[in-house]
Chain A
Amino acid sequence: MEREPNIVVFACNWCSYAGADLAGVSRIQYPPTVRLIRVMCSGRFDPDFALRAFAKGADGVLVMGCHPGDCHYVEGNLKAEVKVNMTAKLLDAVGIDPERFRLEWVSAGEGSRFASIVKEFTLTLKKLGPSPLLATPNVQKSSIAEREQVETGGS
């Protein structure tokens, strides 16, 4: 059976969580790859949330908030955007593909949008394969050993 990716979603209480709820009650089908964590505002998102999710074995992390201008706390989602951009760069620098980490705006009425984002993100993650942190360490070690052999053999 094909491996399903694990996605951790941080969804804001007022828009995106309600959007996911709407997707549920409307019986819109989407892959069971997401684990939703409700936060009061997407501005609650903290770089450590994403780092910890990846450290604990998530394949992807989604942050969801209200559309710009719709935030229940006026500008919490804009603050989230700043933090998300910084975290994406940081993940890139430590060696995690920034495509595994994304910010999306989903309003309470966009159940179908929620479902399509999850579908699309799941496909992206399937293409990328499992998180590099989950790969067996032996693979990497042997490739280093091989490279060393080649290098020392050549000199």
Chain B
Amino acid sequence: MAQEISIEDFVRTCYQCGICSGACPKAVVKEGFLPRKMVHEMITGNAERELASDDAWDCLTCMNCQKKCPMKVDFVNMVRESRRAGKSSGGKIAHENTLGMDFYNILKNANVTPRRKKFLAKDTKTDENSDVLYFMGCVSYFDIIFKDDVGFEGMDIADNTIRLLNAVGVEPAVLDEEKCCGHDQYWRGDTETFEEFAKHNAAFLKKYKTIVTACPECYRTLGVEYKERLGIDLNVLHISEFLAEKISKIENSEPKKVTFHDSCRLGRFMDVYDAPRELLKKAGHDVLEMDKTKEEALCCGVSAFVNCDDENKKIRQRKMQDAVETGAEIMVTPCPKCQIHLKCLQSDKSADGYDIKIVDLTTLLAENIKGIKIDSKKEDNKERE
């Protein structure tokens, strides 16, 4: 069905007010990149010319423009379809040597079963027959690729997510069979690979009542894209939503000043702003807001590893500047990839250090894992219902 819609149809309602260009973080750093201009080309019969240019690949698909649009123009999907049309060769994948086509060609081969359980810490408890599945995503691969390089702590996210779930009385299932959710392929316009991954995963995921994930990209893809593109209906929750419902208080003797980075997939794409902040407050942390926050939050600079260059670095520097200016000692990210991108800037010798610690939400909460108090009233109410 989606095939019948032409690319222009996503943006036809545009009345050229230009708010999108004002909201776009990329337009600030890259001269000549204007979402309004892209849409104008699309709806005035110059679609071919627009598709041949590299504009679609320069977009961050961060949805800042779309949230501000008075006509609810579906800009990010227009960009995704433009990439899919394959008329521009402007898409350069960062880390292509390790995360390029060949890696995913191996991964999508039906005869290969990835291994992830063996990388988990020994104190994590998992149970194959649980109702709850923890969808780990690509953190196990990213941990290998980026740990020595930029200090990304991928397996810590996975371990701590399971520890937190254990602390609220859930022993989640973790599957070796699970493959990449297909987020990056989908947003790079490779819908075929995305669908292959989706069909492979859906066969296993359907059996579980609840799927918990600590990655906003998996959350968006499993929750929305699988349903919209393939009609696979899954009950997916981000770890912050799952925990916010169960935890009443986290006792913490050392509260810290923290600031929360709203990643685009969790915030603007899925409208989850309060659950992670609620959790941080329950743990006694002082949550300081950045200049641009929630719906207006700045992107970390790259999505789906597409076209990471100097301009994207400038966006990242602005983001870090925002975070440092709040006076917080820790920047909390809910997204593993945001952590990679931001730590990449920190590890860059030419950058000015940006002296703020970047920690994943689960890692910060797991520091006080023994102080977790479960909301017993809610549990009782549920049982009575």
- Residues of A at the B interface (CB closer than 8 Å) are 46-48, 51-52, 54-55, 82, 86, 89-90, 92-96, 132-135, 137, 139-141, 144, 148, 151
CA A52 to CA B104, docked complex, whole Å: 10
Contacts of A148 in B (CB 8 A): 203
| Contact for A92 among B115, B148, B203, B207, CB less than 8 A | B115
- Smallest Cβ distance from A135 to chain B, in angstroms? 5
CA A82 to CA B148, docked complex, whole Å: 10
Contacts of B109 in A (CB 8 A): 132-133
| Contact for A52 among B102, B114, B144, B145, CB less than 8 A | B102
CA A113 to CA B200, docked complex, whole Å: 44
CA A82 to CA B115, docked complex, whole Å: 21
Whether the Cβ atoms of B106 and A48 lie closer than 8 Å is: no
Given contacts A55-B106, A94-B103, A144-B203, contact A48 B96 (CB under 8 A): yes
Whether the Cβ atoms of A96 and B145 lie closer than 8 Å is: no
- Smallest Cβ distance from B68 to chain A, in angstroms? 40
Leading 10 A-B pairs by shortest Cβ distance: A51-B102, A95-B112, A48-B97, A55-B105, A135-B111, A55-B102, A52-B102, A89-B144, A47-B98, A137-B110
CA A123 to CA B113, docked complex, whole Å: 24
Q: Is the interface of A mostly helix, strand, loop or mixed?
A: helix
| Contact for A141 among B105, B110, B145, CB less than 8 A | B110
CA A43 to CA B140, docked complex, whole Å: 25
The chain A residue with its CB closest to the CB of B149 is A86
Q: Is the interface of B mostly helix, strand, loop or mixed?
A: helix
Contacts of A140 in B (CB 8 A): 110-111
The chain A residue with its CB closest to the CB of B103 is A51
| Contact for B106 among A46, A94, A135, A139, CB less than 8 A | A94
Whether the Cβ atoms of B141 and A90 lie closer than 8 Å is: yes
Bitwise, B95-127 to A at CB < 8 A (1) or not (0) is 011101011011101111111100100000000
- Known A51-B106, A89-B144, A93-B119; further 10 A-B contacts with Cβ < 8 A: A51-B100, A51-B103, A86-B145, A93-B114, A94-B103, A95-B106, A95-B115, A132-B109, A132-B112, A133-B109
- Smallest Cβ distance from B116 to chain A, in angstroms? 7
CA A48 to CA B105, docked complex, whole Å: 12
Contacts of B105 in A (CB 8 A): 55
| Contact for A90 among B111, B112, B113, B145, CB less than 8 A | B145
Bitwise, B126-168 to A at CB < 8 A (1) or not (0) is 0000000000000011001100100000000000000000000
Contacts of B113 in A (CB 8 A): 95
The chain B residue with its CB closest to the CB of A54 is B106
List 29 interface pairs A-B (beta carbons < 8 Å), by A numbering. A46-B97, A47-B98, A48-B97, A48-B102, A51-B98, A51-B100, A51-B103, A52-B102, A82-B148, A89-B144, A90-B98, A90-B144, A93-B114, A93-B116, A93-B119, A93-B141, A95-B106, A95-B112, A95-B114, A95-B115, A96-B106, A96-B112, A132-B111, A133-B112, A134-B111, A135-B111, A139-B111, A144-B203, A148-B203
| Contact for A47 among B97, B112, B148, B207, CB less than 8 A | B97
- Smallest Cβ distance from B84 to chain A, in angstroms? 23
Given contacts A90-B145, A93-B116, contact A48 B110 (CB under 8 A): no
